[in-house]
Structure 1
Amino acid sequence: MLKKSQAVLTHSLDTGWELLPEFVFRTTGFPFEWLEELRCTQTLAQAKRLLALEQERDRLRDRFVHELFPRLIAFEQEREKVGSAVFSTLYKLRKRVMKNRTLSPDDVAFWKSRRYENADWERFVDEWNELESRRVEAIAAGEELFQAELARVRRVMMAKVADPRFQEAVFLSSPSSFQQVKKYGKDWEAKPEPEWNSTARGTERLIFAYLQRFCAKNDTTSFFGPVNYGTCDAAEPRAIRRAFREGNVLGKRRVFIAHWYVKLLAQKLAGRKEILPHLKPRPNPLVRPLDNHTFHFHGLNRTFRLPDAHARVFLALDGEKTVSRVAAELSMDESALIALLHEMQKKRLIELSIPLSPVRVDALAELRDQLAAFPPEARQAGEELIDRLEGFRSLLEHTPYPERVQVWEDVEKQLADLVEGDTRRKGGALYADRTALYEDCAGTLSALTIGGPLYRALTGSFMTTLKLLTAGAVLKWMDYQQAGRTLYRKLSADGNVVRYIDMIPLFEQGELEMRYTRQFQSRIQELLRRRQEEQPGAELHISEEEVRDLLEPFQEEIERGLAHLQMTLPSPDIMVAATSADAMERGEFQLVLGELHDDCSTIFNGFMAYFADDPEALWARFERRIQRMPQWERMATIITERRNKHVTPELPGHTILLSAVSTKEPAYVIPIHQVEVREIDGRLTLWANERPLTLYPGDLHSAAHGCFSLPCVVPIECTVSSELEEADVKRSPRIVVDSVVIQRERWQIPAEHMRADSQELKGFPLFVHMARTQMQFDLPDRFFVKWKAGEKPMYVDLSIPWSLEWMVRVAAQADRVSISEMCPGPEHLWWQDAIGVHTFELRTGYVYDYSAGLRQKQEARMDRR
């Protein structure tokens, strides 16, 4: 348990914190240098020089139009008659200047002929044409530089494409994209440096999309996003102690058959006549019996009656009895019962299938275990099929690249035949688990320990950030509670029972007041505005003492909330910025908060934990930690069908079924239609199994969930107006809390500012266009951009041509783009292995334990006596 000095143990959040010893080390499978090698830095620099010339020209133009010309006209009026041709010539000359045109020899000759004694007037035409000449030369130099740099970076890109590891990474991400990449390689074999036409550019943009993903993003996929586990150890003197496997080889590679595909397969098997009698039909958790014939379908808000036979069957189902047993209990013909069950399944009243747990990583193994409960004659066909699939899976796992490409394609065809359907969702594009087959890997580290100055930072200065964000989470929970109470009292006014499933959609109707949240965020914003006035343009710092001041007006509310809720389970992704590994050891580094998840359980169970040294022991330790909390039996997890490889574990306590099946004993499983809402001692709570229930978090950021869950500790959005702000553009400086970066500098920009006149704009003109946008909004050279919900951020480097082409295409599809600085930047990347320097992050887990905090305070008081 983390301890603070006695002097500061005055707030509930000062004590009770624990950094869990296990963490996941997430990094890229390819070095960041690969992206650096694609940079056209001279072209970007030339584009900026051109813009500097244009700015100088614009200043000269504006001075001429608004200052020199009016004085010049006044001067000429004193020596020329009204209607003189001099005036019309001067006005034509001004028009050319206003249009940024070069002055013709006749214009210059006319100007010189006027013999102006004013030096500014005399020099103007020469200055103007000289600037324009320099601008034209700058454009020509930019074009020349771009062509030279483009030839170089295209050769670099082709070298990456020729790398078997890159080819395999693309193949595992998207077999369809792999075919484009392979064709690109063959085009280069046929003709070195093929023409840079629209087809080539399109393929190169695709290649860059994968390069930025493999080299700049800490995704967890196969060998290009491997899983490594480490431990935190206060006794370890070094900041980082690490060891690599001999030969820098991967610890483990595992090919999986995707859950969604195995589910299709299970549905096929469930339709076989030898298996049907042994299935255990389950009522839809959304369907609630009202009496022997009347039912209510929650979610659809529909009450309906069933014929007598259908009603009797529905009421007999419990997910434990087989079709044969139900038929015997109801004295029904088995075939007639099966026909009736199929009819009810079409109406979504029941589920008649081989159940697959959504919380188990290996879906094929889960299907095998489910079949094992069937009699031999029923499971034989299914087991033979699973053995066949396991053979495919194992073959792929042990077949090296490039041979595995053909094997993979052959297996995909056979998988498609088995389910009579496609084996790729969304064309299998870009991200894993859109194909029926995918791979994950354990990384090259054999040992990793955090200690010394890094451990002290994670348990010291970083706690200020957690305290601030946890306070915000508790206050948001109180706001959700207030909104929930208002809604509940309205629904229960006539003594009606209020069911959670019916209340969920009603939370979304209208805007919530969120009084505490607004007040808390207002205090933060006010502090940040003051800080910005003190140091315009600089990153904004909040000290530990200032965090305490921010929390002061809300101490009573936070204390009440924590006393009731007892715990939080935040899981921050933390990056470490340093100039070198030696600097790290000296304590010269800065922590950077990446994403912040409100539930750390996925570290201990799920697809990442599959690659821990002892997954069962890892999960058991976490379960025991939860069960030390006094209220653990009143906790509940909501589970639903799994949509991808990410698994939300069933945590200790109860499981509420929205869909899917649970692995727990029936006594701890509750269909969601049975969950009521009640108000107890002024607090809204869920109620089922004769007890109140509190939901675990789970990255479900909604009022309907947050009202009844533990506080969801997530980032607080802080937008501080910048003096450079333009209409409809929001810019927020970097925010640092007690030396930890909690928010990178970021911009919200209307996409129209990023758009080019044509998506086909390319080469040096495109560099100039983006450099102009960079100058307008004071953007860095490198950043991440997000343009649409559900899309992963894209790494953008304004010196990489394909990065710019991506940017203008993204802008054409979006209304607004969100930009955040790259932090840590390239100068602060220090993790190096045999192949280069990598970005990385630590996915950590913390537990806040209110009861433990009280004990710590009591111990501190005893020590003072």
Structure 2
Amino acid sequence: MGARTAASTWTLLPHFLLRRAGFPFDLLAVPDDDPTVPAVERLVESVRRMECERHALLRREIPAEVERLRRAGDDGTLLRPLSRCRSALGRRRDADAAQRCAALPGRGEHLGPALDRFVAAARDVELARTRVAATLEHSARAEEERLLLGLGHDRVREALVQLSPSFAEHAARSTAARLATARLAAAQAVDGQGPARARDRKFLRTAYLYVQRLAAKNETTSFFGPLTHGRFTPEHQGYAGGPETDSGVRRNDAFLAFWATAELARVIAADPRLAGRIPVRRTPLVAVLDDGVRDPHGRVRRLGALDRAILTAADGADTADALARRLAAERGVPHQAVRDRVERLAGAGLLLADLEPASARPQPLDDLRVLVAAADPGSPWLVELDALRKDLRRYANTCGAPERERAFGELESRFGRLTGVDARRSGGQMYADRLVAYEECEGDAPLTIGADVADRWSRDLAPYLDLCAAYGALRYRSVRAEASRVLAAAGGELPYLEFADRLAEATAATASRRDVPAERVFEERLAAVVAAAADGNRARLAPADLRTLIDSVEPDDDGPTSARFVSPDLMLARAGADELLVLGEMHPYVFAWGSQGLFAPDAEALQADLARDLTPWGGPERIATVLRRRQHKGLVSEAFPGRFVEISGLATRERDRCVAVADLRVVTGPSGPELHGPGGQLVLYTGENDHPHLRAFAPPQVEPPPVRLGGRRPRVSVGDVVVQRARWWLSAQDLEELRRAADGPEAVVAVATLRARSGIPRHVFVKPAGEPKPVCLDLSSPLAVSVLRVFSGGDLVVEEMLPAPDQLWLERQAGRHTSEFRLAMIGRGDA
């Protein structure tokens, strides 16, 4: 096989999604004229200079002086105080070190000036700390007042009702009183009041965390994270946007959460009036064999012919009564005998008789109503479901926080009365699917982008996408090789569920092997390239710097075809008169095949365009996705153009599109393991970082190789694109000084010192271990520092905010907003 010699051609599909924050960044930002901002930045710079002088003394000047004194035969008279000075410097006892440096006898011609520079730098640090302490009380009060004023804004309150009704209620009750107290304390200059009180700090930190979601996160939620669909067009150049609306949205709808709909379904299914009228389906984890079944635990159980016939025929389309009538007529047995067997099979967990909502339906409540109406057109539950739908519409159509609160309260009250279940769950979890309902909105100002921009983006992204495709191919080969070993050890064929278990065990055992996988070698080589180009916190690479690494990955028959799909998030940063492209996350899924396809101006054209080329997944006959019971909004909807492999829950009422996971087998094909269902070979559509048993039968993903140089990663640019933002991995030891510091001036100084030593910028995203999403922090903010201090008990990942606030591309009437384009691209060629 020859090495790669040419780059791929990466083509942007015609549709994109613009994701943005619903509020301008100013809602969160500390004004630049706040006196603490320059004071903190001056402190960071002072500490940085002091650390440079410390480094020069410890690494160069003091070792040279020690060597000179030893050659001169010093008896310890000068070496001992020099050693004590070095110890104080190394242990960062800065006051002691400065004193010893100033008093050190017998200075050499090079050491003396270096000691003086450190003493001067240490003095500057102390002055800078004093300035921070002097400004902090005023700044903390001003920040508290800004935050409380923001919480009192009607649209912010309306957003909080949707994020956390309980916090919204608490904030509405206490904000006015807190604001009055803060203003009184500021007017009287009373120490220990306002944000300094412990009971208020927690409230303010929580408020900060919610506000940063509204002003700094490109999420897909309601009017503060609307869906704005756009197109690339040859009809104009550059960007063309539509008009803004006062609300920021053009359309909206409210949805009953899937978990809440499932609770309703459970209660309704227990109604005796519906006995025998509920659809029955085989448990997807049960496989029907020639003489029995393989149950969800993998055990083979012998069953009679009638039981096997029932399990084979029960596909969720028929009710228990209808299925019994049909099979009784076909097999010449009494109807009641079949009904009895249906009941026994359901009791044994082999059949499911339920009103399970379809996981791929956008509005599960509507799906449940159809089921109930089909089972019993006169059911009183229909009246209740219609009332619930009316409550949803009222909730969607109300404006203003008080009206939203009332509408949501009515919705929660009705749900609780119908189900006996608490309408709120997962308390304290900011990103959990906690509430009974949620809203989605179509954003205003629809955007079209000229073909000139699309061509530039495709061209500029291509070199890095080639690298990611090469890395993805290596990861794919690694998974496939392990899958081949597992299948060969089993004789060349296995039920898919058993294969998944065996592959998981084999993959876990692989971690203890001594051989280094090819993808790890690739990562190390890329890290070496980045390290060689790094200048401080930046590493700028040319496309040619990546080509050797890309060409090292030999071409192979990776996946069903050579075509690759990727959905990158692209941000634009203003850099003077130019634009800087900043690459965010890269996804293997098509945004329009899930909840992000809502509100498309021409939904039919959107789906047709994105389903026109399915070659990355082997074409329309092969593409399939494994779907568990829906947990949140759903990454996959019925817009998905392939088949659904059900593993838990029910995907869609279109039962001919569904296959039970227990009916899949893994067999040895010409190119290795293949996944087969009743209709032939399947190629899986998966998410990022999915399980090996899914990735083994999916196309190779286009995924960024991780780069880490010790405890940091510089900002990595390839050509004119920032492909990986600067990042720092901070251990609990790195954060010890902050953890020990008292909340307030001590903590602000500790964070400024940490920034200076590590090169961390003012605006960052911080992700604590175990948290689902990062938090945006302005590290000149006393309140943000307080949040970081709470996080300091464990390891943190810190990443620069890029675009920075002054570089934000999307400018609306209310100010600048964070934003990103979610794109869809297909690559063809050697990569």
1:832 alignment partner AA:
E
Corresponding residue number in structure 2 for 1:408? 408
Corresponding residue number in structure 1 for 2:747? 766
- C-alpha distance after superposition, 1:41-89 (max 9, x if no partner): 1341354377479769979999999979x99xx999999xxxxxxxx99
Secondary structure, counterpart of 2:674 in structure 1: strand
Cα distance change of structure 1 residues 173 and 738 upon mapping to structure 2, 3 Å threshold: same
**Superposed counterparts of 1:565-644, under 5 Å:** 565-579=561-575, 583=577, 588-600=578-590, 602-603=591-592, 605-626=593-614, 631-644=619-632
Cα distance change of structure 1 residues 684 and 652 upon mapping to structure 2, 3 Å threshold: same
Task: Please state how far the C-alpha of 1:504 moved relative to its aligned partner.
Answer: 0.9
Corresponding residue number in structure 1 for 2:166? 176
Q: Which moved more, 1:463-472 or 1:756-765?
A: 756-765
**Superposed counterparts of 1:273-288, under 5 Å:** 273-288=272-287
Pick from 134, 148, 158 the counterpart of residue 158 of structure 1: 148
Task: Please state how far the C-alpha of 1:25 moved relative to its aligned partner.
Answer: 0.3
Corresponding residue number in structure 1 for 2:27? 34
Secondary structure, counterpart of 2:431 in structure 1: coil
1:273 alignment partner AA:
P
Alignment partners' CA distance in 2, 1:476 and 1:517? 13
Corresponding residue number in structure 2 for 1:435? 435
Alignment partners' CA distance in 2, 1:96 and 1:49? 22
Corresponding residue number in structure 2 for 1:663? 652
Alignment partners' CA distance in 2, 1:310 and 1:227? 48
**Superposed counterparts of 1:272-421, under 5 Å:** 272-292=271-291, 294-298=292-296, 300-304=297-301, 314=311, 317-328=314-325, 329-330=327-328, 344-345=345-346, 347-377=348-378, 380-401=379-400, 402-421=402-421
TM-score normalised to structure 1 length: 0.82
- C-alpha distance after superposition, 1:640-669 (max 9, x if no partner): 210001331353343322122243754443
1:692 alignment partner AA:
Q
Alignment partners' CA distance in 1, 2:538 and 2:589? 29
CA contact (8 A) 1:174 1:432 kept: no
CA contact (8 A) 2:274 2:376 kept: no
Cα distance change of structure 1 residues 791 and 92 upon mapping to structure 2, 3 Å threshold: closer
CA contact (8 A) 1:176 1:429 kept: no
- C-alpha distance after superposition, 1:582-605 (max 9, x if no partner): x3xxxx2222111111011x32x3
Secondary structure, counterpart of 2:254 in structure 1: strand
The alignment of Structure 1 onto Structure 2 pairs a total of residues equal to: 800
Corresponding residue number in structure 2 for 1:698? 687
Secondary structure, counterpart of 1:251 in structure 2: strand
- C-alpha distance after superposition, 1:129-166 (max 9, x if no partner): 99998776654443221112212222222221221111
Question: Which runs of 5 or more structure 2 residues have no equivalent in the other structure?
Answer: 184-192
Alignment partners' CA distance in 2, 1:129 and 1:516? 51
Secondary structure, counterpart of 1:191 in structure 2: helix
**Mapped pair 1:473 → 2:507:** no
- C-alpha distance after superposition, 1:266-315 (max 9, x if no partner): 121112222232212111111123354x43224x3333456999777545
Corresponding residue number in structure 2 for 1:684? 673
CA contact (8 A) 2:20 2:226 kept: yes
Pick from 800, 820, 825 the counterpart of residue 821 of structure 1: 800
Cα distance change of structure 1 residues 748 and 638 upon mapping to structure 2, 3 Å threshold: same
2:811 alignment partner AA:
Q
CA RMSD in angstroms comes to 4.4
CA contact (8 A) 1:479 1:515 kept: no
Alignment partners' CA distance in 2, 1:224 and 1:271? 39
CA contact (8 A) 1:173 1:429 kept: no
CA contact (8 A) 2:561 2:615 kept: no
CA contact (8 A) 2:810 2:817 kept: yes
- C-alpha distance after superposition, 1:433-476 (max 9, x if no partner): 3200111211121x311115422222212122222222322332
Secondary structure, counterpart of 1:677 in structure 2: strand
Cα distance change of structure 1 residues 589 and 314 upon mapping to structure 2, 3 Å threshold: same
1:296 alignment partner AA:
R
Alignment partners' CA distance in 2, 1:502 and 1:128? 66
Corresponding residue number in structure 2 for 1:674? 663
Cα distance change of structure 1 residues 145 and 296 upon mapping to structure 2, 3 Å threshold: same
Task: Please state how far the C-alpha of 1:617 moved relative to its aligned partner.
Answer: 4.0
Corresponding residue number in structure 2 for 1:746? 727
Q: Which moved more, 1:776-785 or 1:38-47?
A: 38-47
Cα distance change of structure 1 residues 741 and 346 upon mapping to structure 2, 3 Å threshold: farther
CA contact (8 A) 1:478 1:516 kept: no
Corresponding residue number in structure 1 for 2:774? 793
Corresponding residue number in structure 1 for 2:236? 236
CA contact (8 A) 1:662 1:669 kept: yes
Secondary structure, counterpart of 2:368 in structure 1: helix
Cα distance change of structure 1 residues 338 and 614 upon mapping to structure 2, 3 Å threshold: farther
Identity %: 23
Task: Please state how far the C-alpha of 1:625 moved relative to its aligned partner.
Answer: 3.8
Question: Which runs of 5 or more structure 1 residues have no equivalent in the other structure?
Answer: 1-8, 80-87, 722-728, 855-865
CA contact (8 A) 1:754 1:807 kept: no
Task: Please state how far the C-alpha of 1:265 moved relative to its aligned partner.
Answer: 0.7
1:321 alignment partner AA:
D
CA contact (8 A) 1:175 1:428 kept: no
Cα distance change of structure 1 residues 11 and 277 upon mapping to structure 2, 3 Å threshold: farther
CA contact (8 A) 2:623 2:682 kept: yes
2:132 alignment partner AA:
G
Cα distance change of structure 1 residues 519 and 433 upon mapping to structure 2, 3 Å threshold: closer
Secondary structure, counterpart of 2:704 in structure 1: coil
CA contact (8 A) 1:53 1:135 kept: no
Secondary structure, counterpart of 1:613 in structure 2: coil
1:612 alignment partner AA:
A
Q: Which moved more, 1:256-265 or 1:48-57?
A: 48-57
Cα distance change of structure 1 residues 421 and 191 upon mapping to structure 2, 3 Å threshold: same
CA contact (8 A) 2:359 2:630 kept: yes
Alignment partners' CA distance in 2, 1:270 and 1:786? 42
Alignment partners' CA distance in 1, 2:175 and 2:627? 46
CA contact (8 A) 1:685 1:708 kept: yes
Cα distance change of structure 1 residues 527 and 662 upon mapping to structure 2, 3 Å threshold: closer
2:289 alignment partner AA:
L
Cα distance change of structure 1 residues 295 and 530 upon mapping to structure 2, 3 Å threshold: closer
Corresponding residue number in structure 2 for 1:504? 500
Q: Larger Cα Rg: Structure 1 or Structure 2?
A: 1
CA contact (8 A) 1:361 1:647 kept: no
Task: Please state how far the C-alpha of 1:421 moved relative to its aligned partner.
Answer: 0.5
CA contact (8 A) 2:221 2:440 kept: yes
Secondary structure, counterpart of 1:354 in structure 2: coil
Alignment partners' CA distance in 2, 1:123 and 1:766? 32
Alignment partners' CA distance in 2, 1:210 and 1:76? 63
Secondary structure, counterpart of 2:135 in structure 1: helix
CA contact (8 A) 2:737 2:750 kept: yes
Cα distance change of structure 1 residues 60 and 640 upon mapping to structure 2, 3 Å threshold: closer
Task: Please state how far the C-alpha of 1:485 moved relative to its aligned partner.
Answer: 0.8
2:813 alignment partner AA:
A
Alignment partners' CA distance in 1, 2:112 and 2:707? 54
CA contact (8 A) 1:759 1:808 kept: no
CA contact (8 A) 2:18 2:227 kept: yes
Task: Please state how far the C-alpha of 1:246 moved relative to its aligned partner.
Answer: 4.7
Alignment partners' CA distance in 2, 1:370 and 1:383? 10
